[in-house]
Amino acid sequence: MICRFVFFCLLLCSTVLAQPVREPGNVTAVSVQGGEIRITTERAFAVITAYSPAIIRVRMDKQPLGRDFSYAVIAPPAAFQPRITQDDRQIRLETDSLTLHISRKPFALTFLKPDGTVINADEPGLGTSWIGEEVTTYKTMQEGERFIGLGEKTGNLDRKGNAYTNWNTDAYGYTTGQDPIYATIPFYIGIHHGMSYGIFFDNSYRSDFNFGASNDRFSSFGANGGEMNYYFIYHERVADIIRSYTSLTGRMPLPPLWSLGYQQNRYSYYPDTEVYRIAQTLREKQIPADGITLDIHYMDAYKLFTWNKSRFPDPAAMNAKLAAMGFKTTVIVDPGIKVEKGYAAYESGMQSDIFIKYTDGKPYTGQVWPGWCHFPDFTAPEGRKWWAKQLEIYARAGVSGLWNDMNEIATWGQKMPDNVLFSIEGNPATHLQAHNVYGLQMVRASYEGARAITPGKRPFILTRAGYAGLQRYAAIWTGDNRAEEDHMLLGIRLMNSLGLSGVPFSGMDVGGFTGNAPPSLYARWMQIGAFTPYFRNHTGINTKSAEPWAFGEEVLEISRNYINLRYRLLPYLYAGFHEASQTGLPLMRTLALDYTHDPKVYDTRFQNQYLFGPSFLVAPFESKQDYAPVYLPPGRWYDLYTDSLEEGGQEKMLTLSIQQLPVFIKESSIIPMQSLIQHTGEKPADTLFLHVYRGNAKNEFVYYEDDGETYAYEKGAFCERRMTYDPAANSITLEKPAGRSSSRFSNIALLLHGFGALQQVGVNGRNITLKKDHIAFIQPVSRFDPQGESNPVISCEVRKAVFRNVNEKMVIQL
| Amino acid in the structure at residue 160 | K
* pLDDT score, position 207: 98
Higher pLDDT: 1 or 324? It is 324
∠ CA 744-746-747 to the nearest 5 degrees? 125
Domains 16-249 and 670-813 share a fold: yes
Written out in words, the top-level CATH class of the domain with range 257-334+388-410+436-584 is: alpha beta
- Which of 433, 446, 371 has its CA nearest to residue 407? 446
Average pLDDT over residues 434-443: 98
For residue 689, CA distances in Å to 110, 685, 775 come to: 52, 10, 11
Q: Over the stretch 692-710, which tens digit does the pLDDT of each residue have?
A: 999 999 999 999 999 999 9
* pLDDT score, position 787: 44
Angle of helix 553-568 versus helix 570-583 axis, rounded to 10: 60
- Which of 294, 267, 333 has its CA nearest to residue 465? 333
- Which of 105, 145, 148, 128 has its CA nearest to residue 497? 148
- Which of 192, 286, 204, 187 has its CA nearest to residue 241? 187
Average pLDDT over residues 795-799: 94
| Amino acid in the structure at residue 548 | P
SS3 273: helix
Classify domain 670-813 at the CATH topology level. Answer: Immunoglobulin-like (2.60.40)
- Which residues carry out catalysis? 405, 408, 480
Residues with Cβ within 8 Å of residue 559, at least 6 apart in sequence: 287, 522, 523, 526, 527, 548
SS3 162: coil
Helix (H) or strand (E) holding 319: helix 315-324
Residues with Cβ within 8 Å of residue 370, at least 6 apart in sequence: 301, 302, 303, 304, 336, 338, 340
- Which of 441, 430, 431 has its CA nearest to residue 380? 441
Share of residues in the chain with pLDDT > 70 (%):
96
Show me where the domains of the chain are located. 16-249, 257-334+388-410+436-584, 589-666, 670-813
SS3 90: strand
∠ CA 504-506-509 to the nearest 5 degrees? 165
- Answer CATH for 16-249 from 2.60.40.1760, 3.40.50.1100, 3.40.50.720, 3.20.20.140: 2.60.40.1760
- Which of 89, 66, 93, 90 has its CA nearest to residue 81? 93
d(CA 714, CA 718): 8
* pLDDT score, position 783: 63
* pLDDT score, position 794: 84
Average pLDDT over residues 586-599: 98
In 645-712, beta strands by DSSP E: 645-647, 650-655, 663-666, 670-673, 687-693, 699-705
Classify domain 589-666 at the CATH topology level. Answer: Immunoglobulin-like (2.60.40)
pTM for this model (two decimals) = 0.96
Q: What's the mean pLDDT when you consider all of the chain?
A: 95
Checking if the pLDDT of 176 tops 60, the result is yes
Peptide bond into 356 cis (omega under 30): no
CB 104 within 8 A of CB 89: yes
